[in-house]
Structure formats: structure tokens, C-alpha cells
Amino acid sequence: MSALGRAGLLGSVRKRVSDFRPGHDAPTSPDDRLMADLRTALAPERVQFDSAGRSLHSKDASVFKGGVAGPTCFPITTAEVQAISRIAAEHGRAMVPRGAGTGLAGGAIPLGAPVVVALTKMNNILEVDVDNRIAWVEPGVINLDLTRHLTPLGYHFAPDPSSQQVCTIGGNVANNSGGPHCLAYGVTNAHVQAMEVVLPDGQVAMLGGLDPEPAGLDLRGVFVGSEGTLGICTKVAVRITRNRPAVKTLLLSFKTISDAANTVSGIIASGIVPAALEVMDQKITVAVENYVHAGYPRDAGAVLLAEVDGLAAGVAVDAAGIAAIGRANGALEIREAATEEERALLWKGRKTAFGAIAQIAPDYYLHDTVVPRSELANVLAKVYEIADRFDLLVMNVFHAGDGNLHPLLLFDARDEGVLDRVHAAGKEIVEASLDAGGVLSGEHGIGVEKQAYMGRMFSDNDLDHQDRLRKAFDPTCRANPGKVIPMGHSCADIQALRRVPTGVWG
Amino acid sequence: MIASGVAGRRITDEVAQFATLVGSDDPVAVEGNRTRWDAGGPATGSPRIVKAPAGVVQYQPDEMTVKVLAGTTVAELDRALAGEGQRTALPQRGGTVGGALAVGENHPHTLAVGALRTAVLKVTYVSADGKIVSGGGATVKNVSGFDIPRLIVGSLGTLGCIAEVILRTNPIPAVSRWFHTLADPFAIYNELLAPAAVFWDGSATWLLLEGHEVDVDHQASVAAGIGELTPVDGPPDEPGLHRWSLPPGELQATMTKLEGPALASIGVGTIWATEPQPERPLSPAVEAIHDRMKTFFDPDRRLNPGRHPGRR
């Protein structure tokens, strides 16, 4: 084939991809007809379009300003999600799935008045199948409710994001959520075996399977973490993990955050894979201690919360190993939680860290990047320097074991111009992480937050292929358009969002 | 090394040369060591045969990651990692890293090393139009963008030709011991916290225990309470060429139905058998996604023609 032929081929690929895109003249219809159609498919009270609901559903838990929500539907069955999908398509509307709205990257923010599909009423634990070590759950089941349900059976759901008291399994699937204990057990993707999804064209498909090597491409793996852009998950088979008979939680305090970071690297290098390795700097430790009174030292430069679990004898060996590595790195104090109550209190401190800061400043922006463990100390030094330069208060509490940083910028949004400084500092933090060999996000996702940075991590070819993946599921850009892939790349095109009936933007 | 303009991205000469070799015109099939050459159907249409470059590019034991070229044999990778007391989820069986990932079969000790699909952190491949494309990231945790590595693992080279990957590594446990027993394998699997492998041929059971010596001793004593244990060197050879994938809860019923010799991996769902598993057809909706994926990634169907992910 000649060079010209190749160009022709490329052109034809683009055409084939773009053929599926909705045109500018796609039919639209006023909201009342859309509402009427939706209310034939669902009980009328489960289709809402009041201003309070639209306002609530226009944003998530991030600092990003809201979008514009169309009608919000609260389906209770897969068939209803399917019906919503078909009606939305007939009306030329996109769909945005929504769980508890705890996302921090703007993934659930509706762009272009899509139909919001709130899955919170699909919240049944359908089956616990111990033979296959899975549980079938609906997407609206709350993460911690599932673990509570499994506890008497001797199992739990391993991903445990800090928001686990409110966040949903469907949201965990959409974001490929992590949490402190994914160091040893892996993030959500390692815990989803199969799922039923309603594809953007309204068809229902089962992705993955309960067998170890399901036939075909790993579409299940691709769907997890896709932020609602490949369809809507309506039923999930999550792996259930045996509870460990023994657990030890150690609190190590250090003079500097570098000492804590070096201890973390030393532990991993020694071949110990703890269940969790969490670091908090002094400012957040003081805030947490004031909030929960867990016995965290206020005078240490940093604390490391290390947890090992498994069988009693091996846990004792690993705990002793961690203590020795801590001592070698200048630990000021090493304390082992003596009781389950003490252990629970330490974890409560860690998991409510973001609530504890409310006493310091009314607003915060929680960042999420990952760096190689060996770069933790260097990148943290840069984070402090950046915050200092922008005259912002920063606290660090993070999943140190896998290099997942969570710099927390504190501010009062009423201060004039502060948001500009927050965003400028955030940009530099992201860039410092990438320059250190890191990645854009460890567990919050891209959403709208980090679209603009995707080009710093991926080439145009990379992004083009991500877009092809997306189009294979959603050829007409109906599923949560305007997310993940940066503007200018097809499904992110605002053109899909432009076709909004007059008056909806109001 | 070629800088690509993306943060930290360096394209190695070997990958650039592989892209030139794959080209963008004629049908190509990627050859590893041909240990699973007919997986997903035999190569058709007389494709030009290409080989991916080989070599361990960068091994960082304290990051628990290794960057390796796709043509490297798994055995060579294993040797490099064993020097630092680490391993990966890739099955050995004589093949290459790229071949193992393209085929997508798990390690026989999946319970211990994890599923193959969780092993790939970042993948670099040559696309149908001869471009170098990467997905995923170098760190052990990453949710940046669409999960291209998951798509490529098990895709039989039909969406892109794997050139280089960054894999997650794991520590090799202090102690690994095999036992033989006539005890019920399901009772053993359910009673033990974390057996590394439980194999069952329909009458006898082979148990692999790994970890701290104290834990292995403890687990062995628990298992011995169910039935007498005899230390052995290892499990029997896989009895057949065929590999079944079943929900673990269906193993017992399936094993009683198989006529020839078979070995089941309890808690995992794999059976090695002399007879093939019946075809597991994809649903029409899933088939349609496969078709579009292929059309968008390889419109002229020049990459590994004849292979179909999902066919035995």
C-alpha cells in the first residue's frame, strides 16, 4: 500500500468512528415530552425535575462548579434502566449514572442536560455465593453495608475508600476505587468478577464471569474505572475476601516526613506486603487528634499507620520486621494497638481525616496523584514548597504503600482570588508528580478534573486509542459525554453537548 | 532512546525498530515461542511473521515493578526477578512475556500470585497503522484514563502487537511446600485461610502452602486435621492439552462428568483435561462490542489474522 493509501486508510478509520457520532441536527424535544415518556417507563414519583433535585444532581463532592442536569430517574430494575436508556436516545439525550455523589473528580457532573440515572434505589444485596466467593449486589449498595452484611459469614469487601460509609458499589466500579487496604488486596478492579450492564444503545450485556478466564476480551476489566462512559452497571458480582484471623496495627511516629517515607520504602523492599501503610503529616495529625482523640502524637513530624494481617504467627513476624525498619529510620515511638477498640480508633482517625479539617478551614481541595515510592519524600517536599509559594495551607495524608499522594489544600472560598491560587497550585502538584514518573490519579479518576492533564501523560496516539475503546462501547457518545478524554477528542466534543433544548441551560 | 513529548516518556530503540518491523500495510502475526500458537484459532492468510524484541529494560525491586520487552522469555524474566526474591503472575510454560499476555492464561498458582490481568501496569504496543501506543502507567496504583492494559491482555495480538510492558512484581514467600493427601479438597480450601494452590484429580489432592515458615507449619497442621498429609516435590503434570474455565462452585460436578484424566484447581475454576471445554459463545451484545473494537483498532484486520479472542 502506498503512503497515500495509508493516509486514505486512516481517513476511513476516522470516518468509520465518526459515522456513529450524533449529528448537529439530531432531533431534540422539549423536556415535557421527555418527562412524559420517562414517566410511562417508571413510576412518576421516581422521575424528578424539580429545581432542588436538579441543583443537587448538578455536582459531586468536588470543588468543580455544577453542570446542568436533565430529569433525574430513580430506577429499581435493570429493565427500567434499559427503558430510560432507550427513551433518552429517542430524545437525543445523553445519560449520566450517579451513586452517592461522593466523587472528587467531577465524573458525575452532568454536562448538557443529560438524563441523570440515580442508582441509589437499586440497593439490594441479591446473593452471597460462598462456593464461588462472590456476592451479587445492585450498584446502589453502600460499600460498608456490604462488608457489614458479610461480617457474620467471615468475609468482607476489600476496597475500603475513606467514603465507605456513604459511597456505593456502583460508584466504586465507576471509579475503580481504592482505599487504605488495597495495598495488599488490590483496587476494585481486582474484586469485580462479573457485571450486568446496560450498554449505551439500551442492550443488556453480561461482562466477565464467575470463571477465572471468561471467553473474549476483558470487557469487565475495561468497564471498571470507566467513570460511567461505557454504560450503566446494574448488577455486580464482587469478590468476597476471607476475614483475617489476626491483625496488628502499628503507629510509628517520626521527626520528619522523609523518615516516614523511607520507612515505607524499606518495608516494601524487605518483601513485607502490609495490608495498609498510611502516612499523615504533623498538621493533619494534630487536626485528627483534636477530632477523634485516638492517641496520635501531636509533636511528631509525621506518623505512619502500618497494618499487617493474616495468621497470628506470621503477623507477629511482619510486625516485628516493620518495627525494626522503623527504628532503623529513626522512629521516635512505635506503638502497637493493644485492643480492637484502640485499633478502630486509629483507623477512625485516618478515615475521618478529611472531616477533621473542617475545624481549620471551611473548604478543601483534595488531590490524588501517584508517584514511585522512592520519590515520595522528594515530591512531598515540592508539594510543601508549591503550597507555600501560593500562600495556601497544605496537609498530607496518603496511601504511602503504593505511593498514592493526597495533598489537601485548605482555604476559605470567600477569600477573593483564592480559587485561582488553589487551581494553580494543584496544577503544579500534578506536574511535579508526573515529572517524578508518576500518574495523574490513583483512585479518584479523571472526570472533568484532570482532562486537561491527560495530554501530559498520554500522547495523541494513546488518547486516540482510548477514544476507540470508548467508541466500541458507545458509538454515539450517549454515556456521560464530556468526561475523561480531553476536549477536542470526539466523545469529549462539546458538539454532543450542544444539542440542548432551549431553556434547559437556564 | 527517543523522547516523545509526553512527561517521562522515552521510546526505546528496540520498540521503535519493532514498530518499523510491524509496519502498517500487510498482514502480520507475532511469534513468541509458539507454546500456544493455535490459541484463539490458527493463523490464516499467510501473514508475515514478526518477533517482538527481548530483554529486561528496567527492574526496580523496591517499586515492585519491572519493565520488560515482550519477546523476553518468562523463564528469563523469572531468573532476573528471583535474584531479588520476587516473581510475577505470568505463567512459565516456556513462552514469552508478550505471548503469555496475549493469550491471557493465568499462572497455575493463581491463588498465590494473582490473576494475570492484574499484572500489567503499563503496555506499549504497535498499532495496526504502525504507531507506538501506550496505556496505563508505571506506578502500582493508577486510574488515569481508559484501561488499555486490560483490553490488550488476552486480545491475542488482534488489537495491537505488544512491544513492552511494565509488570507488577511480588515477593517470593520464604517457604513453599507441596503436600499430597486424600482429604476432600473443598474442605481443605474452605478450612485454610490462604492456600497457594489446591489441585484435585477426582480422588487425590495436592496442596501448596506458602508464606512464613510458622504460617506454613500452622496451615499444614490444620490440613492434617482433615486428612493425612504427605510432603511431595510437586503436583502431577497437567493431564491434557485442554484448559477449562468454570465457576469454582461447578468444579465438583464437572469433574465427575469428565471421562478422561483431569486436574482441577480448587477455588480458581481451571480444569486441565484431555477433552476440550464446550465453546462458550459470546452474547450478541458482547460480540458486537468485540466487532467494533476490532474495526476501530485494526480496520483492515491485518494484525494476527485468524485469531479470535474467546475461541478455544
Tell me: the pLDDT tens digits for A145-181? 999 999 999 999 999 998 999 999 999 999 999 988 8
Domain presence at residue A283: yes
Nearest-CA residue of chain B relative to A189? Answer: B118
Which pLDDT belongs to residue A491?
Answer: 57
Domain presence at residue A235: yes
Q: Indicate the residue of B62, B131, B160 with minimum beta-carbon distance to A265.
A: B62
Per-residue pLDDT for A15 more than 60? no
User: Could you tell me if A245 lies within 8 Å of chain B, comparing CB atoms?
Assistant: yes
Query: Do A372 and B285 lie within an 8 Å CB cutoff?
Result: no
User: Could you tell me if A17 lies within 8 Å of chain B, comparing CB atoms?
Assistant: yes
Q: Indicate the residue of A242, A314, A445 with minimum beta-carbon distance to B215.
A: A314
Chain B: give the shortest CA distance to residue A330, in Å. 20
How many structural domains are present in chain A? 4
Helix/strand/coil (H/E/C) assignment for every residue in A192-257: EEEEEEECCCCCEEEEECCCCCCCCCCHHHHHCCCCCCCCEEEEEEEECEECCCEEEEEEEEECCH
| Structural element, H or E, at residue B177 | strand B175-181
Domain harbouring A428, CATH code: 3.30.70.2740
Q: Contact, B182 vs B189, CB < 8 A?
A: no
Examine the domain organization and report whether A43 and A143 are in the same domain. Answer: no
Which pLDDT belongs to residue A84?
Answer: 97
Among the candidates A304, A334, A354, a domain finishes at A354
CA–CA separation, B280 vs B96, rounded Å? 27
Concatenated DSSP letters for B252-285? HHHHHH--S-EEEETTTTEEEESSPPPP-PPPHH
CA angle A478, A484, A488 (to 5 degrees): 80
CA–CA separation, B31 vs B51, rounded Å? 5
Domain presence at residue A111: yes
Q: Contact, B166 vs B138, CB < 8 A?
A: yes
Among the candidates A422, A444, A466, a domain finishes at A444
pLDDT band at A494 (very low <50, low <70, confident <90, very high): very low
Per-residue pLDDT for A475 more than 70? yes
Domain presence at residue A5: no
Query: Do A461 and B132 lie within an 8 Å CB cutoff?
Result: yes
Q: Is B95 exposed, middle or buried (0-12, 13-18, 19+ CB in 10 A)?
A: buried
What mean pLDDT, rounded, does chain A reach?
89
pLDDT band at B180 (very low <50, low <70, confident <90, very high): very high
DSSP B135: E
pLDDT digits (tens, 9 = 90+) for B286-309: 999 999 999 999 999 999 999 999
Domain presence at residue A250: yes
Chain A with chain B: Cβ pairs closer than 8 A: 281
Query: Do B194 and A314 lie within an 8 Å CB cutoff?
Result: no
Per-residue pLDDT for B66 more than 70? yes
- Can you state the angle between helices A312-328 and B213-224, rounded to 10 degrees? 170
Domain harbouring A188, CATH code: 3.30.465.10
User: Could you tell me if A361 lies within 8 Å of chain B, comparing CB atoms?
Assistant: no
Domain harbouring A45, CATH code: 3.30.43.10
Which pLDDT belongs to residue B8?
Answer: 66
Query: Do A132 and B247 lie within an 8 Å CB cutoff?
Result: yes
Residues in chain A: 506
Q: Contact, B108 vs B115, CB < 8 A?
A: no
Query: Do B211 and A12 lie within an 8 Å CB cutoff?
Result: no
A residues 159-178 lying closer than 8 A (beta carbon) to B: 175-176, 178
Which residue has 454504560 as its cell numbers?
A231
Of the candidates B118, B146, B143, B310, the one whose C-alpha atom is nearest the C-alpha of residue A222 is: B146
Helices (H) and strands (E) in chain B, counts: 9, 18
Concatenated DSSP letters for A316-344? HHHHHHHHHHHHHTT-SEEEE--SHHHHH
Q: What is the percent of chain A where pLDDT is above 70?
A: 90
Q: Indicate the residue of A9, A221, A431 with minimum beta-carbon distance to B299.
A: A9
Average pLDDT over residues B31-60: 93
Chain A: give the shortest CA distance to residue B54, in Å. 23
Q: Which residues of B touch A245 (CB under 8 A)?
A: 193
- Between strands A369-370 and A72-73, the pairing is unpaired
Domain presence at residue A76: yes
What mean pLDDT, rounded, does chain B reach?
95
pLDDT digits (tens, 9 = 90+) for A22-78: 433 333 456 889 999 999 999 999 999 998 888 899 999 888 888 999 999 999 999
Which pLDDT belongs to residue A352?
Answer: 79
Which pLDDT belongs to residue B94?
Answer: 83
Class of the CATH domain delimited by B2-171: alpha beta
Per-residue pLDDT for A13 more than 50? no
pLDDT band at A10 (very low <50, low <70, confident <90, very high): very low
Q: Contact, A308 vs A318, CB < 8 A?
A: yes
Residue ranges covered by each domain of chain B:
2-171, 175-273
Q: Indicate the residue of B219, B269, B286 with minimum beta-carbon distance to A211.
A: B269
Assembly ipTM: 0.96
CA–CA separation, A440 vs B145, rounded Å? 9
Domain housing A109? 19-120+453-498
Residue type, A348: K
Examine the domain organization and report whether A224 and A305 are in the same domain. Answer: no
Which pLDDT belongs to residue A452?
Answer: 92
- Can you state the angle between helices A376-389 and A418-435, rounded to 10 degrees? 160
Examine the domain organization and report whether A111 and A164 are in the same domain. Answer: no
Q: Contact, B165 vs B120, CB < 8 A?
A: yes
Q: Contact, B245 vs B269, CB < 8 A?
A: yes
Domain presence at residue A2: no
Domain presence at residue A13: no
Of the candidates B145, B142, B146, B123, the one whose C-alpha atom is nearest the C-alpha of residue B133 is: B123
Average pLDDT over residues B92-118: 95
Cell digits of residue A419: 480559587
Which pLDDT belongs to residue A9?
Answer: 33
Mutate to test the interface with B, among A12, A182, A191, A218 (most CBs of B within 10 A): A218
pLDDT band at B92 (very low <50, low <70, confident <90, very high): confident
CA–CA separation, A90 vs A186, rounded Å? 40
A residues 37-66 lying closer than 8 A (beta carbon) to B: none
Which pLDDT belongs to residue A495?
Answer: 38
